[in-house]
Amino acid sequence: MSGPRRPPGRRPGSADVTRRQIVAAARKVFGEVGFERATIRAIASVAAVDPALIHHHFASKQRLFAVAHELPDPIVVLTPVFTGPPGEMGSRLARAYLELMAAPGSPAISLLRSVATNDEAASMLREFLEDGALAIAEDLLPADQPRRRLALCAAHLIGLVIARSIVALPELAGETVDDLVSTVGPTLQRYLTEPL
Amino acid sequence: MSGPRRPPGRRPGSADVTRRQIVAAARKVFGEVGFERATIRAIASVAAVDPALIHHHFASKQRLFAVAHELPDPIVVLTPVFTGPPGEMGSRLARAYLELMAAPGSPAISLLRSVATNDEAASMLREFLEDGALAIAEDLLPADQPRRRLALCAAHLIGLVIARSIVALPELAGETVDDLVSTVGPTLQRYLTEPL
């Protein structure tokens, strides 16, 4: 129907195929041993590629985890949040997160669902936040207790998405992202920048 | 070892046994048809008791649901929150909720786990909050948009418990209830009493 069929299996030289092999191997290894114990070397071995290729395509284990779980790369999301005008940090964080999670069927919602029931998924998310988002806060957020501050924001935002998209409370499910940003932004601003 | 064994089955006249029968029937009926569609009459029929006995023991469907799921009765928890000194409403709400959820293995945590993965449990929690806690806010919280205000607090508190007890972020898992109340209380105070 759509031209000659491709032969199955690996096609060396196709960057797309290599990326897909690496992502599939990463999902398998993260799933088996968790984020912390998964090594680039082990993922490379499962994908049957050179570890240097993984560094070339994904730069870091955090980024590979994010791609494998269809999560945003935290450095890409958080750098503009923390480095833009300091008075609107809370609104930027709320908007960045809610826009990612607002879509029904967002992969981040299915990750939250697994986290709630699967200890291994909860550990992976914890390690991903610890080594990713919270480490970035430590580098970029100009305040005391940067990790605790971002952890408080994460807790609030996770709960907001659960109440809105999973429990589906009409008081929150009916709000637009703009409404929520203007309500929740000042809370996150306080957590990020004011004395705690 | 501990005296003669009791005969199995119903012992008419024992209020404890009747309560247990009603609670077991309630769990079954809520689980099958959800909170909204479950009727006192249906629960009475499964428990083989007179519906008046359910009213006598539990007063309302909300209270029966709470007992059946080992949740606190929202009117008992929220009345002192909303009717005490208005300047500390947020701290009282944070403390009431966190003390209930702080125990590892709290039944409320297992309810949250089911809610995340089971649409029926999510609907039950939504209807329970809508008809219970949010309705009480409507009666007792002296502010505009009382339901939306308490829904925002609920979202924050649900996320806090997930981040602390399920994802187990060390930045939050290590905090005492007192620490969390003093950090989160002002946020809830703003949601409950300040212009949104």
In this predicted model, what pLDDT tens digit does every residue of A115-160 receive, in sequence order? 876 777 788 889 889 999 999 999 999 999 999 999 999 999 999 9
State chain B's mean pLDDT as an integer. 86
In this predicted model, what pLDDT tens digit does every residue of B113-168 receive, in sequence order? 778 767 777 888 898 899 899 999 999 999 999 999 999 999 999 999 999 988 99
Contacts of A184 in chain B (CB under 8 A): 152
B156 touches B187 (CB < 8 A): yes
B173 contact A CB<8A: no
pLDDT: is B181 or B18 the higher one? B181
Confidence of residue B104 (pLDDT cuts 50, 70, 90): low
- Mutation pick from A166, A191, A194, A196 vs chain B, by most beta carbons of B within 10 Å, is A166
Report the distance separating Cα A163 and Cα A27, nearest Å. 28
What b-and-e string marks burial along A166-193, b requiring 16 or more CB atoms within 10 Å of the CB?
Answer: bbbbebbeebeeeebbebbbbbbbbbbb
**pLDDT score recorded for residue A61:** 86
Measured between alpha carbons, how far is residue B91 from residues A145, B27, B109, B186, B187 in Å?
22, 33, 21, 7, 9
C-alpha atoms less than 13 angstroms from C-alpha of B13 in its C-beta half-sphere: 1
Measured between alpha carbons, how far is residue B140 from residues A35, A134, A151, B135 in Å?
47, 39, 32, 9
- Torsion, CA B85, CA B86, CA B91, CA B94, rounded to 10: 110
Comparing A94-98, A124-128, B131-135, B178-182, the range with the smallest average pLDDT is A124-128
In this predicted model, what pLDDT tens digit does every residue of B4-44 receive, in sequence order? 455 454 445 578 888 999 999 998 887 777 777 789 999 99
Contacts of A130 in chain B (CB under 8 A): 169-170
Which residue type does A142 have? P
Report the distance separating Cα A163 and Cα B85, nearest Å. 28
Distance of CA A57 to the CA centre of its chain: 18
State chain A's mean pLDDT as an integer. 86
pLDDT: is A122 or B110 the higher one? A122
Selection from A83, A89, A60, A72 nearest residue A153 by Cα:
A89
- Residue A2 confidence (pLDDT) above 50: no
- Nearest CB to B167 within list A126, A152, A184: A126
Minimal Cα–Cα distance from B31 to chain A, Å? 16
Closest chain A residue to B115 measured between Cα atoms?
Answer: A167
Report the distance separating Cα A78 and Cα A68, nearest Å. 19
**pLDDT score recorded for residue A1:** 41
Minimal Cα–Cα distance from A6 to chain B, Å? 39
Question: Phi then psi for B147, rounded to 5 degrees?
Answer: -70, -45
* pTM of structure: 0.79
**pLDDT score recorded for residue A17:** 85
C-alpha atoms less than 13 angstroms from C-alpha of B52 in its C-beta half-sphere: 0
Which residue type does A70 have? E
- Nearest CB to B152 within list A147, A183, A191: A183
**pLDDT score recorded for residue B103:** 65
Show Cβ contacts of residue B79 under 8 Å, excluding neighbours closer than 6 positions. Answer: B136, B140
pLDDT: is B83 or A61 the higher one? B83
Question: Would you give the end-to-end CA distance of chain A in angstroms?
Answer: 64
Average pLDDT over residues A17-27: 90
Report the distance separating Cα A61 and Cα A164, nearest Å. 31
Which residue type does B125 have? L
What b-and-e string marks burial along B165-177, b requiring 16 or more CB atoms within 10 Å of the CB?
Answer: bbbbbebbeebee
A73 touches A35 (CB < 8 A): no
Show Cβ contacts of residue B72 under 8 Å, excluding neighbours closer than 6 positions. Answer: B66, B100
Minimal Cα–Cα distance from B80 to chain A, Å? 23
